Amino acid sequence: MTKPFTGLTPMLESDDLMRTLKFYTEVLGFECKGRWPEDAPCWLSLRCGDIEVAFSNRNEHRREFAATATPLLTGSLYFYTNEVEAWWERLRERVTVEYPLETFDYGMREFAIRDDCGYLLQFGQDVTG
């Protein structure tokens, strides 16, 4: 029997790791859990509470990025919070807003932004209960 997984950390690519580090620490409040190598990192691990995400330099060995100028993610990163209004107030003037704060029929109050790499970040709060 295969043992269960012990965790999942999205590993995303960045074309400027220092800019990404600044965005996630200064704008979103993440802490740098690790970077390698220290002086000119090609990899970062970032944490905010129980949320962890990692970034690396673009990898020229990956075919899907050979023809593109920017990193790609076909979905989004969805951040669940109990303070979506506060996050909206904190972020709306500092970032590129994809869609503003709204309550949806499926019971979530949410908004979406783009990070420094262009990845879609959604922030949502359950308002059904």
pLDDT exceeds 60 at position 50:
yes
Predicted confidence (pLDDT) at residue 89 exceeds the cutoff of 90 = yes
Q: Residue 113: its pLDDT value, please?
A: 99
Mean pLDDT of the residues in the chain: 92
CATH 3.10.180.10 maps onto the chain at 8-62, 72-129
The residue among 27, 60, 24, 20 whose CA lies nearest residue 41 is 20
Q: Which residue from 3, 13, 44 is spatially nearest to 115, judged by alpha carbons?
A: 13
Report the topology of domain 72-129.
Answer: 2,3-Dihydroxybiphenyl 1,2-Dioxygenase; domain 1 (3.10.180)
Is 0.85 surpassed by the pTM of this model?
Answer: yes
pLDDT confidence of residue 3: 86
Q: In CATH terms, is domain 8-62 a member of 3.40.190.10?
A: no
In the chain the beta strands, taken as DSSP E runs, fall at 11-14, 31-36, 43-48, 51-57, 77-80, 96-103, 108-114, 120-126
Is residue 10 reached through a cis peptide bond, with omega within 30 degrees of 0 on the bond before it? no
Q: Is the pLDDT of residue 71 over 80?
A: no
